Amino acid sequence: QPVLTQPPSASGTPGQRVTISCSGSISNIGSNTVDWYQQFPGTAPKLLIYTNDQRPSGVPDRFSASKSGTSASLAVSGLQSEDEATYYCSSWDDSLVLVFGGGTKLTVL
Amino acid sequence: QVQLKQSGAEVKKPGASVKVSCKVSGYFLSELPVHWVRQAPGKGLEWMGGLDPDDGEPIYAQTLKGRVTMTEDPSSDTAYMELSNLRSEDTAIYYCTTGPSISVNQGVLDFDYWGQGTLVAVSS
C-alpha cells in the first residue's frame, strides 16, 4: 500500500481546471517537501513540480502545486489532451525512505 | 546534456540475482548521486535507494535491505544495482535516476533525469 494517498483517477474536459490531491502524515509531507511526477505509458516519469510548488524549466505554467500541513495538491489549468497521463506525488519520510503516492490517472474527456 | 542509459531486459528464475547498469553521460558520475526506482507492471513507483551525497554511502529502502546492493564505477561513469534472491514480485521496470538537488540529509530527492528503464522479469 502506498504511503501517500492519491485518488486513482481524475478527469476533465479541455480547458477545465483539475486538481489532484496527495495526503500523507507528519513524518513525510508534514515535515518535508513534495514533488510531483508526470508519467506517460511506456516512458520514464518526468519531474513536474519540486519543492512543493516549483516548476522545472520547460514545464508549462498551467501546472501548479501547493502544500498545506500533511497534504499537497497539483492543479492543471486549461486542461489539454496532452496532459492525459498518470501523476505521482512523492515526499521524503523521516523513517529514511522516499515515499510515493499510488498515482492518479488523469483523463481528458 | 545529462543522459542515463540502462542495460537491456533480463529474465531470471526465482532465487537468482540480477545486475542492472546505468551509464551516465553529460556529467561525471561523481557529480550527481544515482538513485533507483522500480515500477511493477500496472503499479506505482517504489524507491529502492541510492547514494547519499553527504557521506558517499548508499542508503537502501528497508524493505529491500539485505537483498539490494548499489555500486558505482567512476572510471566508466556507470552505476549498478544488484538485487539478489529474486522473487516473482520483483518483476518490474527498474529506473536509475538523479538530480542536482539531491540531499538525503535535508530530505530532498528531486529526480530531474531518468534512464529509459530496464525490465526485469522473474519467472520459473
Would you write out chain A's pLDDT as a tens digit for each of its 109 residues?
889 999 999 999 999 999 999 999 999 999 999 999 999 999 999 999 999 999 999 999 999 999 999 999 999 999 999 999 999 999 999 999 999 999 999 999 9
Contact B112 A98 (CB under 8 A): no
pLDDT of residue B65: 85
Q: Is the Cα dihedral B121, B110, B97, B115 positive or negative?
A: positive
Please report where in the chains the cell 519520510 appears, as a residue: A93
Contact A100 B117 (CB under 8 A): no
The pLDDT of B19-36, averaged and rounded, is 95
* Contact with chain A for residue B101, Cβ under 8 A: yes
Q: Which three three-digit cell numbers place residue A55?
A: 516548476
Q: What is the DSSP letter of B35?
A: E
pLDDT per position as a tens digit, B6-15: 999 999 999 9
By the 8 A CB rule, do B83 and B13 touch? no
Measured from the Cβ of residue A73, the count of other Cβ atoms closer than 10 Å reads: 17
| A chain contacts of residue B115, beta-carbon cutoff 8 Å | 44
| B chain contacts of residue A56, beta-carbon cutoff 8 Å | 112
Short-list A8, A21, A34, CA closest to A107: A8
Contact A37 B45 (CB under 8 A): yes
Mean pLDDT over all residues of chain B?
96
Nearest chain B alpha carbon to A8:
B44
Contact A31 B107 (CB under 8 A): yes
The amino acid sitting at A7 is P
